[in-house]
Structure 1
Amino acid sequence: MSSPAPSRRDQRPVARRRDATANRAALVEAAQAVLAVDPHASLDAIAQAAGLSRRGLYGHFADRESLLREVIAVGAGRFNAIAEETVDPDPRVALARMAVQLWREASAVRASANIALDDVHVHETVRALAPLRRRVRELTSEGVASGAFRGDVPPELLAFLIEETARSTLRELRLSTHDASAAVVRVVLSIAGLSWREQAELLDLHPEILAQDV
């Protein structure tokens, strides 16, 4: 005997939950895009970008701070996933691929970078990005040990220099997607110790690194 079909009354709560989930996701996405341009953007500006009212925004987030925490968490989740998925026997290739993949998340990267500049959110951002930072340290340790990266500074310091340089570059670039990817890769590899000739040779051997954006 088949079960009776759910009534319209039973379906309404499910539909409302779906709408609420979609609206929350739209708010986070709008916040990422707006904060990438203006880290001091108001809740009104974010709500408008999401196609919602300020009252609708408060239905999901109690205040601006709670929305910022959600932006940090969502962005960090995406960045950490990229870090974990970027694997190659050559640490130079792995680092370059990671840089390109992070550039593809440019809006979220810039939003998180802008938020992280505020002293209030620095420690929270650092904690959220722990897996990404750990992966960068692993790559620098491998690169220094194999001689692929510069050995005049400790791997931990090299990882820090790469992180800070990449973050600043990703935030400031105003180039086309392909040109920006190439610039990010070259900046990161330069900090790692590769000359411009070595970078050109590596990219010639692995054209798929920059082709990821095409």
Structure 2
Amino acid sequence: MTDTSTSPRRAARPPRAPRRDAAENRLAILDAAISELNHNPDASLETIASAAGLSRRSIYGHFSTRDELIAELNDRGIARVTAALTPIRHADARVALALVGARLWSEVEDVRVTAQLAIRGPRREIVAEGLEPVRRGLLAIVRQGVGAGQLRTDIEPRTLARLIEGAAVSVLDEAVRDDISYEEGHRLVMLVALSTAGLSWREAAELIDASPELALEAQPEASTSLSAHSSGAQA
């Protein structure tokens, strides 16, 4: 009698993990891109590859175009900013608002040129969509403050939230233009956000000085290096 049984199917092989050197090279490229683009927003892939200690051929194995590289930098930046800002809560909406400004500055200060390029550049609509959770959080803080009588009530909350966002971004523009210090930018972004929200300059300064959680040393240290963040890499 003929044996018609079949042997068990070979189990599907799990996807191969990226080679360690490929993953490390990709992160080296991204870290080099942050550094080079902050010195020269027009830096080429070849310049970035050289800064990463890699050949031109190596970088094209990971990113076929400069736009593709910048897109990944944007995506990682969005994720980092969202993770830092969306958890912010405080019983006093004024303090919460200042914290949003302070944490935002902490995340973008060392990458101010590439951050400005992301917000103002050709991918600004994609970046804006990615930052929507941050905008929702800001609007919630504004509504909290308006409801509690802590923030101005003469402007509709959604409009006020957009104006506060614009004020914070203007600090980034000024930081790129005038190369302001980390300490100066930290205080400035809180002052302009609070002033836009309805506080006088004296009230804003007094609130900042009286709130330990707003002190420069109280802010979490941002990591602009990408070595702690893994992503798909190519061999």
TM class by smaller structure: 0.7 to 0.9
Rg comparison, structure with higher value: 2
Q: State the 1:109 CA deviation.
A: 5.0
Query: 3-state DSSP class of the match of 2:42?
Result: coil
In percent, how many aligned pairs have the same letter? 40
Please say if residues 86 and 94 of structure 1, whose CA atoms lie closer than 8 Å, have aligned partners that are also in contact: yes
Shift of 1:200: 2.1
Deviations 1:101-146 (A, max 9, x none): 221222345413213322x312111111111111111111111221
Match of 1:113 among 116, 137, 152: 116
Which residue identity is paired with 2:138? V
Q: Counterpart in 1 of 2:226?
A: none
1:20 Cα offset (Å): 1.6
Question: Structure 2 regions of 5+ residues with no counterpart?
Answer: 1-15, 222-235
Aligned to 2:28: 26
Partner of 2:52: 50
Task: Give the letter for the 1:73 counterpart.
Answer: D
Q: In structure 2, what is the Cα distance between the partners aligned to 1:204 and 1:92?
A: 13
Select the structure that is richer in helix.
1
Change (3 A) 1:205 1:108: same
Q: How many pairs align?
A: 200
Q: 2: CA distance between counterparts of 1:47 and 1:203?
A: 43
CA distance in 2, matches of 1:61, 1:195: 49
**Aligned positions of 1:5-84 closer than 5 A:** 17-84=19-86
Q: Describe the shift of the 1:165–1:48 C-alpha distance in structure 2 as closer, same or farther (beyond 3 A).
A: farther
Greater relative contact order structure (CA < 8 Å, 6+ sep) = 2
Structure 1: gaps spanning 5 or more residues: 1-12
